[in-house]
Structure formats: C-alpha cells, structure tokens
A and B are shown apart, each in its own frame.
Chain A
Amino acid sequence: MLAEIGLVTIFLAFVAAVYATGAAVLGGQRGSERLVISARNAAIAVFPLLLIATAAMLIALIQQQYQLTYVASVTDPATPLFYRITALWGAQKGSLLFWSVLMSAFTAAAIAMNWRSNHRLMPYVIAYSSAVMAFFIGLVFFFEHPFDRWWWVNSPEGIRAIESMFIPAGAITPPYEWLATEKAHGLNPLLRHFGMIIHPPMLYLGFVGFTIPFAFAMAALASGDLSTNWIKATRRWTLISWIFLTLGLILGGRWAYDVLGWGGYWGWDPVENAAFLPWLIGTAFLHSVMMQEKRGILKVWNMFLVIGTFSAVMFGTFATRSGLIDSVHAFARSPVGMPMFLFWAAITLISIGLILYRWNRGELKDEHQYFDFSQRGNLKVLFSREVLFVFNNIVFVALFVVIFWGSFGAPVITELFLGEEITLGSQYFLQVTPPLFAVMYILMGIAPLSAWGVTSMVRLGRSLVVPLILTAVFMIVFVLGGMASPLALFAYFIVSLAGFVALYEIYRGAAARRTSLNEDWLTALRAVFGRNRRRYGGYIVHLGVTVVGIGVIGSTMFQQETTRTLGRGEVMDFGNYSMRYDHFTEAIAEDGRQMEIADVTVFQQGQEVARLRPRFDVYPDMPMTIAGAHSTLEADYYVLLSGWVEQGRLATFKVYINPLVNLIWWGSLILMLGTFIAAWPAQQVEYTPARAPVAARRQEASA
C-alpha cells in the first residue's frame, strides 16, 4: 500500500512540475495571468505531493517493511528507531527523494513569498525552478525508484526473487522472515554518527537552496527585467542557503574528526571539495552582490557567479552521486550519472548563452563608471572598496579554480587523455591554497575600512592604527607563549588583523552613536546591529572566520603525532601530557559489531585530566577507529587504538595533539550567529514611507 502511495504521488509530482514549467513559459510569453497562476499552483502542489511520498517511505522504514528494497538496503531488525528515520538519506534512492522534497519546499516558499513583490519575474522563476524539480523528480521516478519491491516468482528452476516496482505476473510477496534475514542490511556503520545524521540534510538544504537565486537570475535574463529586483529578492535566499551549506561543511568536518580516525577534519577529499566549491562561488557572490546593489556595477559578473554557484552544486551532485570519483562519501555508482551530466552541461550552457545574449544587446551595462582614476592619484583608487571587492572575487574564483583542478580537472584529464590514474592529495592543496587564503585574510582586514570610490592611504592607515596595535599585542602574547615560526606568526598576524578590524568597526559604530546620542554601550550596540544588520552581521561573520582561521593554522602547522605500543599499566609521555594504558575490553554491541576498547588515563603535570576509551569497531567487513579525545580550548589530546596483541597485553596507540582545534568549532558558531544577524529580516522603515502620504495628499486634494 505504501509503495503504491509513494509511486502515485511521485508520478503526480513529476507531472505537476513538468506542467508548471510549460504553463509558466507559455503564460509568460502570452502574458496570460491565468496560465501563470495555474503554473504557480502546480509548482507549489509538488511540495505536498512529495511530502506524502516521503512520509510513505518514512512509515515503511519505521514499520520495517523490508519488501521495499530500499528499506532492506539501509535497515535491518537490529537498527534502532533513530537510525531508521535517518536511513531516509542513508543511500542514493532515499536521499534523492529527500533532496527533491527539500527542493520543492524551497521552491514553494520562494514562489509564495515573492509572488506579489516580484510579479514580473514570476513566470520565469516558476519555469526554471520547476524544470530543475522536474529533472530531479524524474531521476527518482525513472532511474532510482525508491519504491521497488522484492517479489517471489515461480520459475522452472524453483522460486526466484526479483526486484520490481510493479507486481510481476504470478508473483507473491516473500515471507517476512526471509526478507528480514536474507535481504535486510543495516545502515553503513560510518554513517551512524550524529554529525552524519545532520550533515546531509544541511548540505542538501544548502545545495537545493541555491536553486532559488539561480531561478531568479535566469528569470531576470529571460524576462529582460535586469534591474536590481532579482538581486534584492534573492539575497536572503542566498544567505539562507549559504548558512545551511556552511553548517553542512562544518558538521561534515566534525564527523570526519570524530569517526574517520585520522586526527583531522578536512582531508581535501574530492567529495568534500565538491561541497566546498559552491561555497566559494556563493561567498564571492554574497560579496559582489553589494557592488550591484550599492553601485549598480558588476552585473554580468554577478550573473556568472549565481549561475556558477548553481552549476557547481549540480556538478558536485553529479560527481558524488555518479561515482565519478570514488571515496567514502560516494555511496553509489549508479545509472544517474549520464542524465545528471547532461543536465549539468545543458543548464550551464543555456545559462551562459543567455548571459552572452543579454550582454551583447547591451542590457547588462553598468550604471556607473567603475573607478574614478581622475583625481588624487591611482593608489587611492586601488584601495577603494570597489577594487578590493574585485580582488576578493578574484581570490575566491582562484581558490575555486585550483581546488576544482586538483579534485576533478587533473585526475579526469590524465585518466581520459593519458590513461593514468592520479591522486592529488593534501600535499597538492597545501601547496596551492595557502597563498590564496592569505590574500583573502589580508583583504578581510583592509576592505571593511575602505570607502566607495577612493580611499586615501592616510585615512586607511589612520583607521588601521588601532587594529594594528591590538594585533601586535596579540602577536607578543604568541611570541611569549613560545611561538618561534615566522611563517606561523605571519599567518596569525594577517588572520587576527582581520578579526580586530571587524571588532574595531563594530566599536566605531557604537561609539559614534554613544557620543552623538548619549546612549549607553548596550543600547548603542543593539541599535548599530538593528539599523544595519547586514553590515554588522557581516563583521561578526568575519570574526567567526578569523577564529576558525586561528584554529586551522594551529591544528595544521603544529599538529604533533606519535605511535607507541604500551603494556598494561605502562605510561607514555608526549607533548606536555602523559598517558597510562589501564584496561582492555572486548564487547559486542547491540547492532552486532565487535568492539575492542582500551581504557587510558591522561595526565598533565602529574594531575589526572581525563579517562578516555579509544575504540576499534569491526563490522563484518568494515573496521572503524573511534577516537577518545580530551578537549580543551588550548588543544585536543586525541587517542586512537590502532592495534593490539593477546587480548590487549600490548596495545598500540596513535596519539595526536591538535592545538587550537576547538577554535574551529567555536568560530563556526560565531560565524553562524553573524549570518543569522545578517539574514534576519530588517524592519521595513526604509526611506520610502515619505512618498505614500504625498500621493495620498494629492489624491485628497484632487478629490
């Protein structure tokens, strides 16, 4: 029954999305409001339809209906309820359905909320977003049926089990016992972690969210309404998607740190990079969009960035779901590879074609001259906010290019044309990306202090004095703390300067109010954030990125590791910690995995600071090392159990000291807070209200 419900609703959703696309295009061309309204209703209807299908799948997962092949592939009778629910996105078929329902939710919300305010763009927004939805629902319906079932069919050789969406002739439902014992597999053990449970939904929300800015940009290009309307309508959607994508990336890092057992959080794995690439372009867009709003320039460039972000999302989805690059995340080589590749290529080519068409017609001309080189020397112009923003964009795009090349470009090209498989690992990325990140942080330190148009060196220098002094004090603390590496000091310098500039700007804003309006600090701060959420929220984001940066530098440049074999009761010294190996236990967990657990006690200066239980879990064919970690703000003492002999008479430990790694997680929280402030809807007290009374007065006068 659930399978039928799922099938029918997915099919109806597909029809609705296709219809919405067609009706919206026709309605837009003919100027028929009725058709556009019909398209809107169809596009919004996709969401409840897919919601029913998803609910059917969830019920099947919870009720253990193993006749559904998907349910059997991700759960078994031993799976706890929590993982039954999260199994919805535990493998390709379910996660595509989940992806589609999230996309339809975003689309419905964006259409409903912008229906009045951006009416002119609507037919094309509906058309593009519905076309993207139709593609993904089509993938679910035609290529990755989540509602396939197991059937028993009588054949000359006896009973045969087959997978099919519909009931084959003469087939019977297999007995539950057979399904539960023969066909049901638990969820991939690596995915049984809190970070892994939330990471995919966050990432998907981030990914599908970028459909909305894309649809608006394409609508602007298609309709010819190239004013800043589309930018205004999409900025918040972009920011919301960006929050989710950022959260997804961070949770993924946290998951890797806790579960993958290699002492790090970012391995430059192609699949990680696939999610990072849209983030880079999206971040570039969030910055350059200000140029278009405030100065009316960089219109073509913004179009490229929006389309680039969506294209990167589609490419990442294609690369990870098609098995283009194998890794931990790429859970399936599947039949969706070719359709996804074609869709990605088509979307990208059509978008670029449309931009070039409008550009050629001169419709994307800038409203202002870019830079005023006329007066007061060129250097001032070089430090204008416009130029610095352009540099910021160049840096993000350059990061995109080198990371794309390392993850996909070089490996694919060498395999295709030179017949040689290569891996570009962290050695490559740590050679090419640090200089670019350094420039990014330097720009983060200067750009907020620059002015539109021209910035004189004297003024820039004057506003840099306080942050520079603070940074210098910070550096002295580092040097006194024993930091001797000039490279690390340079890195800390540019990163913390960016943070102090953000803090100083917030202080300046509040101080100006305090002196002019006699407010106390708290009121002034609240008012500053309330009046210009975007700007000051942005500074908080910069502050978060600074804290993350300090954590990354510390844990990358000063990570220490060692491997030691200890007998019971033996103590090892490492860094300013010592660790005693106490016990060894073997156990079998509820879900059937064999666990080898070592008990260790960690000391610092003779004082016991933590008892840790690093574990080695073995599933039938998948080993997993679960770290034990003693976390402080200063460093993580991170222990892995990597081997043992004779029931733990001797145990081998791999120990990492990761300095400042927790700042990454704390910085991420600050970053989130800043993004929420920036995305929070502002009170509508802009400059416009003055107009209405005037018009009203005129009406009164004429009446």
Chain B
Amino acid sequence: MKMATNQRIAGIRWGARLCARIVIVWAFCIWVVQLSIASAQEPITTPEPGAVVDTSAVSDDAVNAVAASLYCPVCENIPLDVCPTEACIQWREEIRIQLAEGQSEQQIITNFVDRYGDRVVGVPEDPLLRGLSLITPWLIGAVVLVAGVSILIRWRRGQRGTLATTTGTVSTLDDEASYRARLESDLIKRR
C-alpha cells in the first residue's frame, strides 16, 4: 500500500516536472520567435500630414488587397475588404490615401495596428502575441505526437514477453484470394 502511494507521488512529481519543462520550452520558443519578428520589423515612416494626395491612380483592387488582411473594428471577425458598413468604407478610403502616398502594404497595416491595436489584423503583429498565437498549436501538436510515439514504444516493450498469445488475432484481409474466400463463407453463413 505504502509502495503504491510512493509510486503515485513519484508519478505526480514526474508529471509536474514534465509539465514545467513543456511550459519552459513553450515560453522559450515564443521568446525566440518574438525576437526574430521584432528584429525583422522595419521602422515606420509617416508622411507629411496635411498634404492633399491624388487617389485616382489607386485601384479598388489595390485597396482591397491591403484591406483583406485587416479586420473591421465594429463588426468583429469580418475582413475589411468585404464589410459593407460605413466605418469600413471610411477605412478603405484611408487605405487608398495611404497607398497614394506611396506607403507599402506592411506600413499601412502597421499604422492601423498602432492606432487600433492587434485586433484589427488576422494574426497579431505584436511579436509576443504573434509568437504565442502561432507557436502554441504546433507545440501542442508536438507534445501529442511525442506522447503517441512513446506510448507505441511502451506497448512494444510490454509486448515482447506476451507475443505468443496474440498471433491468432492477426488477419490479412486484403489479400484478394482470402478476401473472396471470406466473403463467400460469410454469404453462405447468412443465406
């Protein structure tokens, strides 16, 4: 009894250590991704305010190409390029002006994020949030995969001793001949 309790405590400790390690790896990955994104971001150049720009050369398609990666602030989760509300029409006009001023797509997006926060883009621009969003699902996937493989390996080890008993259950249905034979015998049984 006491042994079982000790074993259980050891198991819990082992589990806790494993969880802690996973969390550390998680945090480390996010940190690395954050650093790499942060160093890759260009500084923003804002053009002179007040100047009137001619937007006639900017096509709707060019505006929508930028707007597709932005999200409307009012109607949540609707991409800006397809939202019919007044607010979104204004935002698209703003994009048109900024394009006419010669800003790049990334600059315009960064500009909107600076003013309204990371909720206006489909994947956060902020390095920490971006890392958190994109790293976590892959890490969870990796943990699941490692767990799956380790369970497979444990089964394998556990089974080396008890092999003889299980061989009877193996079937090789996909062989054409045996498949047909089995089908026929089933048919006879059911008739």
Chain A residues in contact with chain B, CB under 8 A? 261-263, 267, 269-270, 295, 325-328, 368-375, 390, 394, 397-398, 401-402, 405-406, 409-410, 413-414, 418, 420-428, 431-432, 449-456, 459-460, 463, 508-509, 512-513, 515-517, 531, 561-565, 616, 623-625, 642, 652, 654, 685, 687
Residues of A within 8 A of B136 (CB): 405, 409-410
Tell me the complex Cα distance, A455–B48, Å.
70
Does B79 sit at the interface, judged by CB under 8 A? yes
Does B123 sit at the interface, judged by CB under 8 A? yes
Tell me if B187 and A517 are in contact (CB < 8 A).
Answer: yes
B164-182 to A contact mask, C-beta < 8 Å, 1/0: 0111011111110001100
Tell me the complex Cα distance, A402–B133, Å.
10
Q: List 6 A-B pairs, Cβ < 8 Å.
A: A401-B137, A420-B118, A423-B118, A428-B122, A452-B171, A459-B172
Which of A390, A424, A454, A652 sits near B133, CB closer than 8 Å?
A: A424
Which of B60, B64, B129, B183 sits near A422, CB closer than 8 Å?
A: B129
Residues of A within 8 A of B190 (CB): 531, 685
- Closest 6 pairs between A and B when the two form their complex, measured CB to CB: A425-B122, A262-B82, A563-B60, A427-B122, A453-B170, A402-B137
Tell me if A423 and B156 are in contact (CB < 8 A).
Answer: no
Tell me the complex Cα distance, A638–B120, Å.
27
Residues of A within 8 A of B180 (CB): 512, 515-516
Residues of A within 8 A of B170 (CB): 372, 452-454
Which of A421, A425, A512 sits near B123, CB closer than 8 Å?
A: A425
Tell me if B172 and A652 are in contact (CB < 8 A).
Answer: no
Tell me if B155 and A371 are in contact (CB < 8 A).
Answer: yes
A455 closest partner in B (C-beta)? B174
Tell me if A394 and B85 are in contact (CB < 8 A).
Answer: no
Further contacts, 7 of them, CB under 8 A, given A267-B77, A372-B169, A405-B136 = A373-B155, A398-B140, A421-B117, A425-B71, A451-B171, A453-B170, A453-B171
Tell me if B167 and A427 are in contact (CB < 8 A).
Answer: no
Tell me if B118 and A428 are in contact (CB < 8 A).
Answer: no
B100-125 to A contact mask, C-beta < 8 Å, 1/0: 00000000000000000111111110
A236 to nearest B CB, angstroms? Answer: 21
B10-28 to A contact mask, C-beta < 8 Å, 1/0: 0000000000000000000
Residues of B within 8 A of A261 (CB): 82, 84
Tell me if A459 and B60 are in contact (CB < 8 A).
Answer: no
Tell me the complex Cα distance, A581–B123, Å.
38
Tell me if B159 and A373 are in contact (CB < 8 A).
Answer: yes
Does B39 sit at the interface, judged by CB under 8 A? no
Does B162 sit at the interface, judged by CB under 8 A? yes
Tell me if B144 and A372 are in contact (CB < 8 A).
Answer: no
Tell me if B69 and A427 are in contact (CB < 8 A).
Answer: yes
A430 closest partner in B (C-beta)? B122
Tell me the complex Cα distance, A432–B123, Å.
12
Tell me if B77 and A327 are in contact (CB < 8 A).
Answer: yes
Residues of B within 8 A of A402 (CB): 137, 140-141
Q: How large is the interface on B (under 10, 10 to 19, 20 to 34, 35 or more residues)?
A: 35 or more
Does B132 sit at the interface, judged by CB under 8 A? yes
B80 to nearest A CB, angstroms? Answer: 10
Tell me if A460 and B174 are in contact (CB < 8 A).
Answer: yes
Residues of A within 8 A of B156 (CB): 371, 373
Tell me the complex Cα distance, A271–B75, Å.
14
Tell me if A374 and B163 are in contact (CB < 8 A).
Answer: yes
Does B145 sit at the interface, judged by CB under 8 A? yes
Residues of A within 8 A of B171 (CB): 451-453
Tell me if B129 and A563 are in contact (CB < 8 A).
Answer: no
Tell me the complex Cα distance, A418–B127, Å.
13
Tell me if B126 and A420 are in contact (CB < 8 A).
Answer: yes
Tell me the complex Cα distance, A616–B84, Å.
9
**A563-B172 in contact given A420-B118, A431-B134 (Cβ < 8 Å):** no
B153 closest partner in A (C-beta)? A373
Residues of B within 8 A of A398 (CB): 140-141, 144
Tell me if B159 and A406 are in contact (CB < 8 A).
Answer: no
Tell me if A687 and B166 are in contact (CB < 8 A).
Answer: no
A530 to nearest B CB, angstroms? Answer: 11
Residues of B within 8 A of A460 (CB): 174
Tell me the complex Cα distance, A509–B124, Å.
52
Which of A374, A420, A463 sits near B117, CB closer than 8 Å?
A: A420
Residues of B within 8 A of A295 (CB): 169
Q: Which of B128, B136, B186 has the most CB of A within 10 A?
A: B136
Residues of B within 8 A of A263 (CB): 82
Does B97 sit at the interface, judged by CB under 8 A? no
Residues of A within 8 A of B122 (CB): 423-428
Tell me the complex Cα distance, A358–B81, Å.
53
A367 closest partner in B (C-beta)? B169
Residues of A within 8 A of B79 (CB): 262, 267, 425-426
A398 closest partner in B (C-beta)? B141
Does B61 sit at the interface, judged by CB under 8 A? yes
A338 to nearest B CB, angstroms? Answer: 22
Tell me if A563 and B69 are in contact (CB < 8 A).
Answer: no
Tell me the complex Cα distance, A266–B120, Å.
19
B170 closest partner in A (C-beta)? A453
B72 closest partner in A (C-beta)? A423
Tell me if B71 and A401 are in contact (CB < 8 A).
Answer: no
Tell me if B137 and A368 are in contact (CB < 8 A).
Answer: no
B153 to nearest A CB, angstroms? Answer: 10
Tell me the complex Cα distance, A328–B64, Å.
22
Tell me if A427 and B123 are in contact (CB < 8 A).
Answer: yes
B62 closest partner in A (C-beta)? A563
Tell me if B123 and A453 are in contact (CB < 8 A).
Answer: no
Residues of A within 8 A of B120 (CB): 423
B89 closest partner in A (C-beta)? A643
Residues of A within 8 A of B148 (CB): 390, 394
A513 to nearest B CB, angstroms? Answer: 7
Tell me the complex Cα distance, A375–B77, Å.
54
B158 to nearest A CB, angstroms? Answer: 9
B149-163 to A contact mask, C-beta < 8 Å, 1/0: 000100110011011
Tell me the complex Cα distance, A269–B129, Å.
19
Residues of A within 8 A of B140 (CB): 398, 401-402, 405
B43 to nearest A CB, angstroms? Answer: 22
Residues of B within 8 A of A414 (CB): 124, 129, 132
Does B54 sit at the interface, judged by CB under 8 A? no
B89 to nearest A CB, angstroms? Answer: 8
Tell me if B133 and A513 are in contact (CB < 8 A).
Answer: no
Residues of A within 8 A of B121 (CB): 423, 425, 427
Tell me if B174 and A516 are in contact (CB < 8 A).
Answer: no
A375 closest partner in B (C-beta)? B167
Residues of B within 8 A of A372 (CB): 159, 163, 166-167, 169-170
**A428-B134 in contact given A451-B172, A516-B183, A685-B190 (Cβ < 8 Å):** yes
Tell me the complex Cα distance, A204–B117, Å.
36
Does B42 sit at the interface, judged by CB under 8 A? no
A653 to nearest B CB, angstroms? Answer: 10
Residues 39-63 of B contacting A (Cβ, < 8 Å): 59-61
**A454-B172 in contact given A263-B82, A401-B140, A513-B183 (Cβ < 8 Å):** yes
Tell me if B69 and A422 are in contact (CB < 8 A).
Answer: no
A433 to nearest B CB, angstroms? Answer: 9
Tell me the complex Cα distance, A264–B28, Å.
38
A550 to nearest B CB, angstroms? Answer: 24
Tell me if A424 and B123 are in contact (CB < 8 A).
Answer: yes
Tell me the complex Cα distance, A564–B60, Å.
7
B121 closest partner in A (C-beta)? A423
B130 closest partner in A (C-beta)? A422
Residues of B within 8 A of A326 (CB): 76
**A370-B155 in contact given A263-B82, A460-B174 (Cβ < 8 Å):** yes
Tell me the complex Cα distance, A130–B179, Å.
46
Residues of A within 8 A of B183 (CB): 509, 512-513, 516
A415 closest partner in B (C-beta)? B119
Tell me if B76 and A374 are in contact (CB < 8 A).
Answer: no
Tell me if B133 and A368 are in contact (CB < 8 A).
Answer: no
A527 closest partner in B (C-beta)? B187
